[in-house]
Structure 1
């Protein structure tokens, strides 16, 4: 793909079950990424203007790389910028993790009231209220861990759930079985996060933000830079914008979990106020949104990952999946959030 985006459309034919946002809409038949698609009777998006606007934003991100995906969930009309490029997910990965946990629960392989014991060797890097509460608190239910992982982006909670359902490979295998092949989980947070900044796997002495930051600061700058470069080039623990739209569409249409589980996931996502200055800031006040953001630490002036993905519904009841990934930028956090908000505003204009 070149600098600008690609576009596809789809035939609307089946009733769409919008489980996460609600509202009435026409439906769309599922399609594969590169299948030939035809025009839909649904109102088309204004893709030329979107392409030009997002292209200008991408120029401002250089030398970083911007990836964007937007899909009309009525007819699966899709626009992509760097749609096939893998981007580091960071905490965006906790959204497919949450769906996988609920799918395992529905299959009868675990219970939400099941108690999980937290050992010292289970602790993971910040952000982690579960780690901060240890050893005063050592028992959590699966439901509580799910709330912490999905709702609060807790790394220890995510790692405990990941282990409980069979590890990162089991989650990726589940995604592939659901024909989601461009979203992959490969490592626990206690492995990924330290590696991305030049540290060895996490140790309990680094528990808490102050201790962990001190450990990072002790890593020589050249070693930090090399680790960050490896992390940004690593295909592990990544998603493409195309793959994330595929995941969001399947989740929204009820192909991955039941309506009750989807509603639980939505409730947990709404508890997370992180990322409020990203997609949420670019949408009209009366639009609905469920989303999951992800952010890496800025190392030696480079930010490997600032992301936000989700589904929004406009007052006209049209719903759209959106995925925004930024990697390798030298912009500060405020500027990065503003860029994602600008992309959301451009998406709303494209949707009309």
Structure 2
């Protein structure tokens, strides 16, 4: 377990008073809080009317900093990282095996993005490992929904997080529910599994109804996380509190190997850095993107490791502008860690 800053400070005070044994101080520099606040505040101004939330934790010392850290943001596919951890916890408990085969039925399909739905019915059988890699690595919605159903549904994922004392992260709906709800569509049906069919159904929803649905989605506490909640999850995942060493290694490797979000956090960290991360993106409609997110664990070239969570909601920037906001936060974080 890591020693928190508060404990470290108490230990140093005891040492100064001549009692207690000397404690080893953190080997990494303290965060430059003033610089982080100044730079991230400026980035947040550029993002307006979108709202920016940022969390940063030194995984060696436990020191944290956040911007809008207590605010809830829609996760979108960021939830697939906690989902992946919950699935692997079932593997650790012996209730599920990575080589178990799951056969899909038409009612198991979910909205795009889902290469697995695109491949149906030509392919129906997948192992748990394949579904885990598709959900957390490719962000496949069908894979995520099938795995979530297998372990008891959204409520089971949230209950597992609560049981592990991961607060301020909640999973409430399957992707096949959340995605249509967030844009004012009717309940998902398998006939909409292709991007073309899904967009045709979306375009049949009146613009005013879509705007109203997005506004409701942005204020809905369901399927949200705070930046500090995301940090808590990443910290416990990294520290081995959630999973066995083998399962932890597998999940972090999938999150490192993903090719999603190349222009977000990954673009802002320096050469030689490694990032195990999960992105989340809502569909842009009528010029508004409800969510553009990226959370993960970055290992710098010198071995220092940090948990980072960035959420951007309600953005009116174009795709390149949204991605640059997250990349610029990573650059500010790089300067802020020294």
| TM-score, L = length of structure 1 | 0.89
Shift of 1:113: 1.1
SS of residue in 2 equivalent to 1:285: coil
Are 2:26 and 2:60, in contact at CA under 8 Å, matched by a contact in 1? no
Match of 2:170 among 167, 174, 184: 184
Shift of 1:249: 0.3
Alignment of 1:1-352 (within 5 A): 9-11=5-7, 41-42=26-27, 43-352=29-338
SS of residue in 2 equivalent to 1:113: coil
Shift of 1:12: 5.0
- 2 CA distance for matches of 1:162 and 1:12? 39
Shift of 1:41: 4.0
- 2 CA distance for matches of 1:98 and 1:143? 10
- 2 CA distance for matches of 1:229 and 1:9? 39
Shift of 1:290: 0.6
Structure 1 runs (4+) deviating above 3 angstroms are 8-13, 39-42
Consecutive unaligned residues of structure 2, counting only runs of 5 or more, are 10-23
- RMSD (Å), alpha carbons: 1.5
Are 2:167 and 2:232, in contact at CA under 8 Å, matched by a contact in 1? no
Deviates more, 1:245-254 or 1:196-205: 196-205
User: Which protein is richer in helix relative to its size?
Assistant: 2
Shift of 1:315: 2.1
- 2 CA distance for matches of 1:333 and 1:9? 38
- 2 CA distance for matches of 1:276 and 1:10? 36
Shift of 1:234: 0.6
Higher Cα radius of gyration: 2
Are 1:10 and 1:75, in contact at CA under 8 Å, matched by a contact in 2? no
- 2 CA distance for matches of 1:79 and 1:271? 27
SS of residue in 1 equivalent to 2:56: strand
- 2 CA distance for matches of 1:328 and 1:40? 41
- 1 CA distance for matches of 2:56 and 2:173? 28
Consecutive unaligned residues of structure 1, counting only runs of 5 or more, are 1-7, 14-38
- 1 CA distance for matches of 2:8 and 2:61? 5
- 2 CA distance for matches of 1:287 and 1:12? 28
SS of residue in 2 equivalent to 1:201: coil
SS of residue in 1 equivalent to 2:290: coil
Shift of 1:304: 0.5
Are 1:12 and 1:74, in contact at CA under 8 Å, matched by a contact in 2? no
SS of residue in 1 equivalent to 2:310: strand
| TM-score, L = length of structure 2 | 0.92
Q: Structure 1's 258 and 12: CA in aligned 2 closer, same or farther, altered over 3 A?
A: farther
- 1 CA distance for matches of 2:143 and 2:34? 43
- 1 CA distance for matches of 2:77 and 2:5? 30
Shift of 1:330: 0.4
SS of residue in 2 equivalent to 1:304: strand
- 2 CA distance for matches of 1:116 and 1:228? 34
